[in-house]
Structure 1
Amino acid sequence: MFRRLKTYQLVVDLSVAVVFLLVAGPIEAVAGAGNGVVERFGAGLDLAVAGAIALLFSTALGIRRLSPALALSAAWAGAVLQMLLGRPPSFADVAIFAVLYTTAAYGGRRTYWAGFASAVVGAVVITLYLMVGPVFAAGGLSWQTLPIALVMLVAAAFALGLSWTAGALVRTALRARENAEAQQRAEAEATVEQERVRIARDMHDVVAHSLAVVIAQADGARYAAASDPAAATTALGTISTTARAALADVRLLLTQLRHSQSEGPQPMLADLEGLYAQVRGAGVELRVTVDPMPPGEPPAAVQLAVYRILQEALTNALRHSGGPVDVVLAWRADRVELRVRNPLGAGDPARGGGHGLVGMRERAALVGGRLEARATGGEFVVDASIPIGGMP
């Protein structure tokens, strides 16, 4: 029923209504002086009627944006009262055009169509009132006066319809702007969500792998400390190195989070040897086969995807298996094929509730590839195929 308006909008509308009342009141009193109301009811009642009509139209003008439906009702009440008393059109009727405009521009669905119906019905009522009303009838409506009536009908319909149509155009523009703003907000939220998922994926890859290495080294050092103190010392050194590297990666990710425009360096194929060293340092037998070798320098996005997929696959092997791990990389002319195999240990990574496998699939999908992870024949196998051709 009531729209939310800003304070200055309410002040402007009410100020316009007050000024309109001060102008329309005296004009309405003068306009009705010669229509017989004074003779029938007296001058005092005529002034009261004039004031009531001016007040109704001024009220409709003042609340036209606050409540278009109430404004339309007030305008109809003023027009009906004006016609029942046989008064001529006057300055106060100008408010009708403003009310029709706001019903189309700001009204609800029902008010919108009520304004359209009011414009059509109002044109017919105005024509009939002017032709057969108690004041303006000159012999009533006849074949001789029919052309004049048609001209009046067209003029009234054009004037009222133009006001409503202007409001409808404004309504369309407002809806288009709201839709554009909503689309921009949705796109901004989608961008933020994608960035959040990317950072979460990178954080998982870095932290999960590093913690898996640290845990494996710590467990090994605990069991080896009693019989081989040197092994414990070596394990502690590996833990320290891995933790420092993880801390540096986390700081890099936090820098990207604070300054999204500076991506910073990302791990590439040259960093795989360090990754393999971490896994071997955790006591895992790792066998790596690269055949054929990369034909030149693969795109950076492909290198990053291969590194992150291998990182997560090796992390799963550290967590769920203690046996040997086989890594096979085959660099074809148009794609790179990757396979990681390790014996199934205490659990199946595919049945876990973590984000590692989801992250690997996302990594592959981001560069147009595919990835499958499954348990088969007592082994857990990760197969990935990532296209090279057409990548930037």
Structure 2
Amino acid sequence: MPVQTPLVQRLGPAAQRALDLAIALASGVLCWYAAASTSPLLVPEPPWLAVVAGVLFGAPMLIRRRRPVVVAVVIAVVTALVLASGVIPDYASPAPVAVAGVAAYTVGRHVDGSPGVRSILVMMGFLVAGTAFSSGSAESPGLAGIVVALNASGAAWAIGWTLRERHKRAEQAITENTLRAVAEERLRIARDMHDTIGHSLSLIAVKSGVANHVARERPEAVLDALAVIEAESRGALAELRRVVGALRTEPDYTPAPTLADLGRLAGNAESAGVSVRLTVDCAGDLPAPVALTAYRIVQESLTNVVRHAAPASCRVEVETADGTLRISVEDDGTRHSTMTPGGGTGLVGMCERVAAHGGTFSAGPQSGGGFAVVATLPYQDVA
């Protein structure tokens, strides 16, 4: 998630009020001084007129954030009046123009769309008019003063607009990253629930059906089925606690499974009528995420065999070579015509897990019968 830079960070309410007060005082004092510094060669002005000018420039700046358009227009009108009337002489015109620039910046920073553009155009019109009327003598700035006033207000507005757009893009990026992280976490949880709880419930469903079918003819088989159901129920509960614990940011109740637990998966599948031949040939230690992904792929593959092809024989091979872990699960069963309602997400989940590691995945019927799942997971050796 991107971190906001100081240019796009917002000040707190107290800091904003303090800043606005400082700007208002600075604007008032600056324009008061500009109005009070009339050249001795010109007609002297009463002192109270300079005070009025300072108040007219400073007071609106206190509400520049709440009413940026109103403040900008007021400052533009006052600037035009003091320049055209000579209350502030030409040589001191940078003072009111600077205050107008702050107002223009506020419009660009806080007003979006056409209202902001219209207000800045109106503001420029008043500044041009005031500067033009103040430039009636040969010694006055003339066209240069108009250009300076336009450039100052336009540049200030552009800076404010740029910062506003940058802040908006930063907020959009944060929102998008948050939504993406939430979606990825939901997908991860869905995969874990499907792979873990779904595996146990599939075996429970199969063994329950077996027990119900042979209850009268072979009572001893019922006890074996109930033992498997009890073990799988406990395993499913432990996995459910682990997932819920992760959601609550609590320590896991049980450690994540590894390749050493593949034997338990094979035993569970055999208890459901699938003969499993398991081969694990891994040199060195695997990264935990890679080992967990391999475990989930084997788990989901065996679950599919139990659901859709039992009784059958299955060969599971897990081996490493040249920094790549290869998982192969092949069976010789015939897929049942009826599928589990709501099924079909297992293969998608396996493909997503493999893609997250930059590996390859394939799954489909074999030419000689049966079904095969093959995945490769590149990894780096754990030191």
Aligned length: 358
Deviations 1:218-263 (A, max 9, x none): 1111111101211111111111111112211221222222227869
Write out aligned runs for 1:146-295 (5 A). 148-149=139-140, 151-155=141-145, 157-158=147-148, 161-162=151-152, 164-259=154-249, 265-282=255-272, 284-288=273-277, 290=279, 294-295=281-282
- 2: CA distance between counterparts of 1:304 and 1:76? 67
SS in 1 for 2:135: helix
C-alpha displacement of 1:195: 2.6
C-alpha displacement of 1:93: 5.8
Amino acid at match of 1:287: V
Deviations 1:109-143 (A, max 9, x none): 435545654565455433431233xxxx5xxxxxx
SS in 2 for 1:100: helix
The 10-residue stretch of structure 1 (58-67 or 364-373) with the greater mean CA deviation from structure 2: 58-67
SS in 1 for 2:321: coil
Show the counterpart of 1:42: none
SS in 2 for 1:331: strand
- 1: CA distance between counterparts of 2:294 and 2:60? 70
Show the counterpart of 1:296: 283
SS in 2 for 1:322: coil
Write out aligned runs for 1:290-329 (5 A). 290=279, 294-297=281-284, 299-300=286-287, 301-329=289-317
For the Cα contact (< 8 Å) 2:101–2:156, is it kept in 1?
Answer: no
Q: TM-score, normalised by structure 2?
A: 0.72
Amino acid at match of 2:212: R
- 2: CA distance between counterparts of 1:213 and 1:89? 90
SS in 2 for 1:131: coil
Q: Does 1:105 align with 2:106?
A: no
- 1:261/1:161 CA distance change after superposition, 3 Å: farther
Deviations 1:15-52 (A, max 9, x none): 9999x99xx99x99xx9xxxxxxxxxxxxxxxxxxxx9
C-alpha displacement of 1:318: 1.9
- 1: CA distance between counterparts of 2:278 and 2:83? 97
The 10-residue stretch of structure 1 (223-232 or 159-168) with the greater mean CA deviation from structure 2: 159-168
For the Cα contact (< 8 Å) 2:73–2:123, is it kept in 1?
Answer: no
- 2: CA distance between counterparts of 1:61 and 1:117? 19
Amino acid at match of 1:107: V
Amino acid at match of 1:343: T
Residue 356 of structure 2, aligned match among 335, 347, 366: 366
Amino acid at match of 1:333: A
For the Cα contact (< 8 Å) 1:371–1:384, is it kept in 2?
Answer: yes
For the Cα contact (< 8 Å) 2:60–2:75, is it kept in 1?
Answer: yes
- 1: CA distance between counterparts of 2:13 and 2:170? 26
- 2: CA distance between counterparts of 1:101 and 1:331? 65
SS in 2 for 1:65: coil
- 1:101/1:344 CA distance change after superposition, 3 Å: closer
C-alpha displacement of 1:78: 5.2
Deviations 1:52-71 (A, max 9, x none): 99998788656533333333
- 2: CA distance between counterparts of 1:263 and 1:386? 30
Cα RMSD of the aligned pairs, angstroms, is 4.7
Amino acid at match of 2:67: S
The 10-residue stretch of structure 1 (188-197 or 213-222) with the greater mean CA deviation from structure 2: 188-197
- 2: CA distance between counterparts of 1:82 and 1:162? 18
The 10-residue stretch of structure 1 (213-222 or 119-128) with the greater mean CA deviation from structure 2: 119-128
Amino acid at match of 1:309: I
- 1:14/1:123 CA distance change after superposition, 3 Å: closer
- 1: CA distance between counterparts of 2:238 and 2:19? 60
Q: Does 1:345 align with 2:349?
A: no
Show the counterpart of 2:347: 357
The 10-residue stretch of structure 1 (363-372 or 242-251) with the greater mean CA deviation from structure 2: 363-372
Deviations 1:61-92 (A, max 9, x none): 565333333334444555677799x6744899
For the Cα contact (< 8 Å) 1:104–1:164, is it kept in 2?
Answer: no
For the Cα contact (< 8 Å) 2:105–2:156, is it kept in 1?
Answer: yes
C-alpha displacement of 1:156: 5.4
Write out aligned runs for 1:125-140 (5 A). 125-132=129-136
- 1:81/1:171 CA distance change after superposition, 3 Å: closer
SS in 2 for 1:266: coil
Deviations 1:263-300 (A, max 9, x none): 96221222111111111112x1313153xx51423514
Q: TM-score, normalised by structure 1?
A: 0.71
Larger Rg computed on CA atoms: 1
- 1:327/1:97 CA distance change after superposition, 3 Å: same
Q: Share of identical aligned residues, percent? A: 27
C-alpha displacement of 1:309: 1.1
Show the counterpart of 1:43: none
- 1:367/1:13 CA distance change after superposition, 3 Å: closer
C-alpha displacement of 1:383: 2.2
- 2: CA distance between counterparts of 1:372 and 1:274? 25
Q: Structure 1: 5+ residue runs without aligned partners?
A: 1-5, 32-51, 138-144
